[in-house]
Amino acid sequence: MKQLFTGSGVALITPFKANSEIDFESLDRLVEYQITNGTDYLVALGTTAETPTLSEAEKKQVVDAVKSKNNKQVPLVVGFGSNNTKKVVEQIKLFDFNGIDGILSVTPYYNKPTQEGMYRHFMEIASASPVPVILYNVPGRTGINLEPDTVARLANASGKFAAIKEASGNLAQMTRIIKDTPDNFLLISGDDGIAIPVITSGGKGVISVIANALPGKLSSMITLALEKKFADAQKLHDEMSVLFNLLFKEGNPGGIKALMNRMGMISNELRLPLYRVSEKLYQEIGTAFENLS
């Protein structure tokens, strides 16, 4: 039986209107687009969703909208992260988990806890959460790395930990995590561009940014890689490789929103302090999209 969080997950954007309000019509269309084009599961309120710019009321509205449109067609994961353990535990306890299949919880940012502090932080989250927990390690954003020994310690301490989204870019670290954690604990790539090498090393998929715009192509690439059809998967990777790089050239989600705007899917709007990409990069992204096979 396929595990919940294998394959192609998508880190959903939050579409905005020109007046900076959430564009729920575009969000509905985006969820439907993902489901009909092979995305295996949805992730709401992650980094790509510009979650720090959303109010608590807006976060609830986004989750409710995604949950309603999804209607349990594919698994749904919701982001819960903070550098204040008590705060995130309280948020989890107050949350309605009906229709939610897991949470994604990023390492505490800014205050740089020790490995022991992070272990205790995540154990508190696991204890509070009624659904499986996906750890999220992204040192480039948080300033702290969740070490393989700590990941293994967490995975072996509680069955509540289902996976880790690894965005360190360190394949040696990922290999250690795969080796030292239980067989049912999944390692998920946090980077589209190295998803195939991660799967080759034993990873089980990706939580993708580019899938917002190209869910079918990304899903096919991941499925082929998981079936060990690496040559065919690599062909799809190569088709998207220029976009993989361009989408992060001026930060995420500026790049993916530019691509989706170029495709006519959304307005090219972000909330400050994030801002749309430069006109030069917008044109480069458009050219790369036109050159897709």
Catalytic residue among 33, 41, 119, 136: 136
> What amino acid occupies position 291?
N
Measured CA to CA, the distance from residue 94 to residue 81 in angstroms comes to 14
Active-site residue among 59, 69, 165, 257? 165
- Give the tokens for residue 208: 């993708």
165 classed as catalytic: yes
> Do 14 and 256 contact (CB within 8 A), yes or no?
no
Task: Count Cβ atoms below 10 Å from residue 225 Cβ, excluding itself.
Answer: 25
136 is an active site residue? yes
For 114, counting Cβ atoms within 10 Å of its Cβ (0-12 exposed, 13-18 middle, 19+ buried), the class is exposed
Active-site positions read 136, 165
